[in-house]
Amino acid sequence: MGIRDELVVGSRLALTRAAVWGIAASGDPLARLVAAPWRKDPYTWHAAMRAGTGVHRSKTGAVTVGRHALVATLLRDRRLGVRTADGAQPEPVARSPLPAAHEVSPTFLEQDAPDHTRLRALARPAFGPAKIAGYRESVEKTTHRLLDDALARPTFDLIADFAAPLPIAVISDLLGVPEVDSARFQHYGRVLGASLDGVRSLSHARALRDATGELQRLFTRLIAERRAAPGPDVVSTLVRALDEDKLTEQELLATCELLLIAGFETTSNLIGNAVHTFAAHPDQWAELTATPDLAAKAVDEVLRYESPVQLTQRFPHEDVEIAGKRVREGTMVVCGLGAANRDPEVFTDPDTFDIHRENSGEQLSFSSGAHYCLGAPLARLEGEIALSALAERVPDLKPVGRHRWRKTTVIRGLTEYRLAR
């Protein structure tokens, strides 16, 4: 692709961004969730998504669903998929509009049955109950090693020094990725995570293309190494499946990329969002520091109150009726996970953060149905251990300076959050 072609792509992205901003300026809740400056206050627009029947037609062409019961039902409804009925993957897609250096296959998160079912089944054994229980000791050791290093300094960045390196180390070990570059992986996660909102600019498209290419090269080398010398890791298991013709090499590369990025992105944001939320609710933090065993319940309440994943989308494969409204086949249906998690019909005083809440486990932050997050048990374990350790070792939360949120909508998390010892 030449300079002229890239300029065309850049112009198209700029026009799309301007159009969305214009729709947002008119008051459209979905567009305001995406566009600055309104996205800084997402829960105002989530409340608008829940209003009335909880089903609204956005001027963007999508239909939004915000009530918990409706969102939960749609996520389990097999008449809707993550692609349209003809298998197309409409915008926004987590891929660069610029040509890639290598063939790029969608991950199983971006596919419907039967391919989704087949590929997910190959990865599922690594996240079974027995496996997750076996990871606890390793997660605890990594947690305390990182805290030892962070607390040796007067101040540290919770995200760069702890919340991100912890799940990166855990998922890299699980996959068998050697020589982990935590800062580089954080960059990959932010670039790929931002693309869930749609590619924003030409520079973002280039970064996305480059990150995908670098990940492909990393896993291509690792696959060759594991074929020559298999180990107990997930990549070795997937290489055996490749040799048994259970998936293609491109599907293997895409699955490795998904497991790596998804394996740390949600957990990193969960830990960061948790500390930010507790700092704003010192009474709740005092209760956790007094009783660190509350950490598991606290994880669910953080997931409900400040979900790392705020939205997901589905496409009806036939005309459907949602809360009395007819939605045509192929229409993008945006399911508000953040909106559903604060639905007053399910959660009493939903805008109140309460780690003693009995039904916080009903939150939908990990989705539901066929696409329920495969790594949810591992994320819960890491979140529980991280919060418990922080409560014991950093009982006096002292945020320092300004914190920074990501400029994204689907993924909600912090890029920087400094703490003092």
Q: Closest by alpha carbon to 307, among 258, 347, 255? A: 347
Length reported for the chain:
421
Domain that residue 290 falls in: 3-420
**pLDDT surpassing 70 at residue 102:** no
Q: Model confidence over 198-227: pLDDT tens digits?
A: 888 888 888 988 999 999 999 999 999 999
What is the band of 295 on the pLDDT scale with cuts at 50, 70, 90?
very high
| Span 329-339, average pLDDT | 97
Question: What's residue 372's pLDDT?
Answer: 96
CATH of the domain at 208: 1.10.630.10
pLDDT score, position 103: 59
Q: How far apart are CA 178 and CA 265, in angstroms?
A: 19
Instruction: Confirm if 322 and 333 have CB atoms less than 8 A apart.
Output: yes
Report how many domains make up the chain: 1
Question: Are the C-beta atoms of residues 89 and 106 closer than 8 Å to each other?
Answer: yes
Whole-number Å distance between alpha carbons of 230 and 395 = 43
Residue 394's pLDDT is: 93
On whether the pTM is more than 0.85, the answer is yes
- Mean pLDDT value across residues 141-145: 97
Q: What is the pLDDT of residues 274-293, one digit of tens each?
A: 999 999 999 999 999 999 99
> Which range among 123-132, 292-301, 352-361 shows the weakest confidence by mean pLDDT?
123-132
CB 269 within 8 A of CB 297: no
